[in-house]
Amino acid sequence: MSSISGISGSLGGGSSVVSANGALGKQDFLNLLVSQLANQDPLNPMDNQQFASQLAQFSSLEQMTNIQSVLEQGLSGDQSLAGAMQGGLAAELIGRRVTVLDSRVSLEDGAATLRWECEGEPAAVDVTVTNELGVVVAEFTIDEPAGNRHDWDGRDSSGAQLPDGTYSIQLEARDAAGAELAARPLWQGLVDTVRFREGIPWLVGGGLEFSLGQVSEVSDDNLEPDTALNGND
């Protein structure tokens, strides 16, 4: 296509037939081909083989452009469908009890329940609590934890009562032999509502927001909390 590119900047009194952004689309290609035919030397016209080759290139370019357009439309449609399905699923969770993988905990009226899942039966769990600024405010050990939960009295390391609010916990669990066990903090509670931001649904419960991807378990509201965590009653 060197013969076409060579005339792109000089045809029609010096005006270019290529798009201003420098991209050669199918319309630009067609304009170049027509301009080449209009400006060819009558005594030395383009041979049939070269013309057929350029027409084949134009046809290929048009097909690729159409395929790209179809793919883009399909991707947009898939995203819209996925967003609608997620929104419908999130709405079904309103009023249901969910368990989500999240390290946040809400301290209300000076108390909070810490929950977690563990790969084994821990003999002790070390807990580090940080506030919303990331400052460590409490550190304590839970000996012989039962049911993968602990009722925290909301006191800091010096025994002073912490203000109500959102805190984060970090856990380190150990078995009876002192070996470390993988433990992940959980939040469990009722879904109060669903919020949408840019088409993405967010579950709201206990004043906190969670994504659908964080949900590990859903149960009926009439079940007592923690009954389904790792099968512990």
pLDDT digits (tens, 9 = 90+) for 150-178: 999 999 999 999 999 999 999 999 999 99
Tell me if 89 sits within 8 A of 120, measured CB to CB: no
Tell me if 157 sits within 8 A of 112, measured CB to CB: no
pLDDT beyond 80 at 71: no
Q: How far apart are CA 145 and CA 131, in angstroms?
A: 23
Q: Is pLDDT larger for residue 70 or for residue 86?
A: 86
Six-digit token string for 208: 């906190």
Taking only the tens place, the pLDDT of each residue in 78-119 is 555 555 566 777 788 888 899 999 999 999 999 999 999 998
Q: Which helix (H) or strand (E) holds 103?
A: none
DSSP 5: H
pLDDT at 144: 85
Q: How far apart are CA 125 and CA 142, in angstroms?
A: 5
Bridge partners, 192 (sequence order): none
Q: Is pLDDT larger for residue 215 or for residue 11?
A: 215
Tell me if 127 sits within 8 A of 142, measured CB to CB: yes
3 state SS of 65: helix
Q: Is pLDDT larger for residue 28 or for residue 207?
A: 207
| Ranges of H-type helices in the chain | 2-5, 11-14, 26-38, 48-92
Taking only the tens place, the pLDDT of each residue in 127-136 is 999 999 999 9
Q: How far apart are CA 119 and CA 114, in angstroms?
A: 17
pLDDT at 147: 83
State the burial class of residue 150 (Cβ atoms within 10 Å of its Cβ: 0-12, 13-18, 19+): middle
**Domains of the chain and any CATH numbers:** 2-89 (no CATH), 97-231 (2.60.40.4070)
pLDDT beyond 60 at 22: no
Task: Look up the pTM and report it.
Answer: 0.57
